[in-house]
Structure 1
Amino acid sequence: MSLFNAYVALSGAIDGEVLREERMSRHTSWRIGGPAALYVRANTTTALTRTIDVLSREGVEWVILGKGSNVLVSDQGYNGCVITLGRDFSRISSDAGDGIVTAGAGVVLARLVGEVLKRSLAGLECCVGIPGCVGGAVSMNAGTAHEWIGSVVSDVVTLRPGHGLVRYDASEIAWEYRKTSIPANEIILEATLALTPSDRESISREMNRRLQARHRTQPTGKPSCGSVFRNPPGQSVGKLLESCGLKGYFVGGAQISDIHANFIVNNGGATAQDALAVMRQMFQRVKEDYGIELQPEVKFLGSFT
C-alpha cells in the first residue's frame, strides 16, 4: 500500500481537494476522531472515479463519508482515504408540477426538506430534523420507526467501482428498518423522489410539529451521533436503557443524554474510547436485564480495542 503515491497521483489531478492527515473530528457530528491518512473531496463523477481507481491501484482502503452523523472514528484515526462528495453531488432539481425531485447524495437532508416545502411537496415530513445528507439517508433508509424515506424514492443512481454507473428502480431495492439492499460496495450518487403536491401551510405545520417533538425528546444542544442503537422489533431502545437507570451515565466526556437514553452526547473533550466504553455499558446492561443484544446504528471507522 502506498498512501504517498496515491496522494501524489491525486493532488492537482482531480476536480476537488486532497489533504493528508485531516482530523476527522472536524467532519463528524460527534466532534470525535483522529486523522484520516488521506481525505478527498471529489466534486464530479470523473473525479470520484479517478480517485477510486488510484486508491485501488495503490491498495489504499477507502470509505465514503457524508456529514458523519452516524460514525465513530477511532482516536488513532483511519489509515486509509476518506472520500466526501462535493459540488456536483450537492444539487437539487425538480418538477414541482408532478412532484419529482432529484437530489445529489451530498445534499444536506435539512436543505432538501426545506426545498420540498418551498415547492409545496409532501412526503418528506418523516425526515425533518434528521442530520446527515441524502446519500446516507437513502443508504440507511432514514426516517422514523414507521415512516421511511424509501417510501418516496423512485430510483437511485450509484457508482459501482470498476463497472460504472448503475440505476436502480425503487422496486429493485429492499427497503427495511435502517437498511436497504443497495450493495455496500456501491456509492450512491443521487436519488429521485416522487413526492405529492399539497398545501404548503399544512406541510409546514406537520414539519413544525415533528421538529418540536424532536427538540422535546432528543438532545440538540450538544454534539451527538443521533441514535446509537437500533430499536429491536417492537421495542424502544431509549425506554430499555432508561429502565436500566443509565440516563446520565458517563465515561470521560461522553455521556448518555438525560433527555433520551439512546443518545450519547459529547460534553467536551470526549474521545472515541469514552464513547465506546459508554456503548459497551449500554449493550451489557440491556443484555443482562432483558436478554436483548442491541445492534449498533452507529458505524465504526478505524481501529478499536
Structure 2
Amino acid sequence: MAAKHASPVQALLVDEAFDGEVFPHELLAKHTSYRLGGPARFYVEASSVGALRQLVDTCAEHGTPWTIMGRGSNLLVADEGFPGVVVTLGRDFRTFRFDEEASRFSVGAGVLLSSVVHDAFRRCLEGLEFAVDIPGTVGGALRMNAGTRETGIGDRVASATVLRAGTGLVRLEADDLAWGYRRSPFLPDDVIVECELSVTSGNPFYIRSKMEAAHTRRRKTQPQSKATCGSVFRNPEGGSAGQLIEELGLKGSRIGGASVSDVHANFIENDGTASAQDVSDLIEMIQEKVEQAHGIKLQPEVRFLGFAQDR
C-alpha cells in the first residue's frame, strides 16, 4: 500500500509487487571501491527488466534524478550523497551463457567481467585475456570501453541491448556501435542490460601466458591493495597521464586523507580517512598543475556523482 502523500517513485518502490530490493538512505561508501560517498535517497536493486523499466520510466517521467551503478569501481560519490535513485542490476542481469555455434557469450550487464574472462579461459577461448583483473561489471566495462590503450572490450562486442526511458529495449548491432579510447557509443541515459561478446578458440598455454603477463604487470604497476578508483585520468593523445603527473614530482602529494600513489601517479589513494572532497580537490590540483606545465587539461576517467558542479 502506497503512502497517501508518496511521490510516484516512492509509491512504486513501496509496492509489494515491485520486483527488487529497496534501501532508503543507503550509504554509497558501502558500494564504491573508494569507500567514499554519502547516502542515496534510494538505493534500488532491480531484479528484472520489467522492474528496471518501471523504475527508469517513472523517474524520467516525474523528473526524479537517477543513475545506474555497477560495482562502484570507477566512481567518486560526493560526501553529501545523491538526492535521487541509484539503481543496480540484480538477479536477471547476473547470468551469462556461451553459444558454441556462434562462439559468443551472452552476458547480463550485472555480471562481473572477471567471471566471463575466467570462464573463457576455462573453455580455451581467446579474446578477453586483456581484461584479467579489471574490476567491475560488464555493463560498467562497456560504458567506459574498459581495457588497455591498444584493446578495449568494445572490440569484442557483437551486440548490445539497452533500455531507454520511454522507449524500452533497443538492440544495437556491432555496425551500430562506434568505440574509441575510453569512449562508448551509448547515450547518457542508456541502461546497458546485456551484450554479446565474440571470442575464438585458442591455445590454452598462450591464453594463460597473456593473462599472467597482464596480471603481473598490473600487480607491479598499480596499488591494487589500496582503496582507489583505478586510473583517475584518461591518457591524452600520444601521452601518458601518469607520466605527466610523475614528471611534476606529484607522487605522494596529499590533500587530507587522499594522496597521489607512490606506485602509479595516475592513481589517487584513500588512506581510510579521506573525504570525497579531498579526492576531488586533489584531482583539480593535478589538473591545474599539468595544464600550467604542459598546456594539457587532463580529462577524468573517474565518474562523479552528487557533486554540485558537473565534472
TM-score category of the 2 structures, normalised to the smaller one: over 0.9
Aligned to 1:229: 233
Q: Distance in 1 between matches of 2:299 and 2:6?
A: 33
Contact 2:60 2:165 in 1 (8 A): no
Aligned ranges for residues 117-266 of structure 1 at < 5 Å?
Answer: 117-266=121-270
**Aligned-residue offset at 1:95:** 2.2
Is the Cα contact below 8 Å between 2:130 and 2:210 reproduced in 1? no
Quote the Cα distance in structure 1 between the aligned partners of 2:308 and 2:258.
16
Partners in 2 of 1:13 and 1:64 — Cα distance?
Answer: 21
Matched, 1:9 2:12: yes
Name the structure 1 match of 2:74: 70
RMSD: 1.4
Moved more, 241-250 or 179-188: 179-188
| SS of match in other structure, 2:280 | helix
Q: Which amino acid aligns with 1:45?
A: V
CA drift at 1:304: 3.8
1:89 alignment partner in structure 2: 93
Q: TM-score, normalized by length of structure 1?
A: 0.96
Among all aligned residue pairs of Structure 1 and Structure 2, give the percentage whose two residues are the same amino acid.
44
Deviation of 1:115 (Å)? 1.2
CA deviation after TM superposition for structure 1 residue 269, in Å: 2.0
Distance 1:160 1:4 in 2: 22
CA pair 194-24 structure 1, distance change in 2 beyond 3 A? same
Residue 294 of structure 1 corresponds to: 298
Query: Which amino acid in the other structure matches residue 299 of structure 1?
Result: R
SS of the residue corresponding to residue 202 of structure 1 reads helix
CA-CA distance at 1:4 after TM superposition? 5.4
Q: CA deviation at 1:85?
A: 0.3
Instruction: Determine whether 1:113 maps to 2:117.
Output: yes
SS at the partner of 2:135? coil
Tell me if structure 2 keeps the 8 A contact 1:7–1:18: no
Write the distance in 1 (CA, Å) between the matches of 2:37 and 2:116: 28
Q: What is the TM-score when the length of structure 2 is the normalising length?
A: 0.94
- Unpaired runs of at least 5, structure 2: none
- Give the distance between the partners of 1:109 and 1:88, measured in 2 at CA: 16
Distance 2:24 2:81 in 1: 12
Which string of whole-angstrom CA distances, capped at 9 and with x for unpartnered residues, describes residues 96-145 of structure 1?
A: 45421111100111111111111111101221111111011111111101
Separation of aligned partners in 2, 1:3 and 1:120: 53
Secondary structure of residue in 2 paired with 1:49: helix
Letter in 2 for 1:202: Y
Q: What is the alpha-carbon distance in structure 1 between the residues aligned to residue 286 and residue 153 of structure 2? A: 28
Shift of 1:279: 0.4
For residues 15-51 of structure 1, the C-alpha deviation after alignment (integer angstroms, 9 at most, x for no partner) is 1101110000011111100000111100100010111
- The one of 253, 265, 284 equivalent to 1:280 is 284
Residue aligning to 2:108: 104
Q: Secondary structure at the match of 1:179?
A: coil
User: Which stretches in structure 1 are left out of the alignment for 5+ residues?
Assistant: none
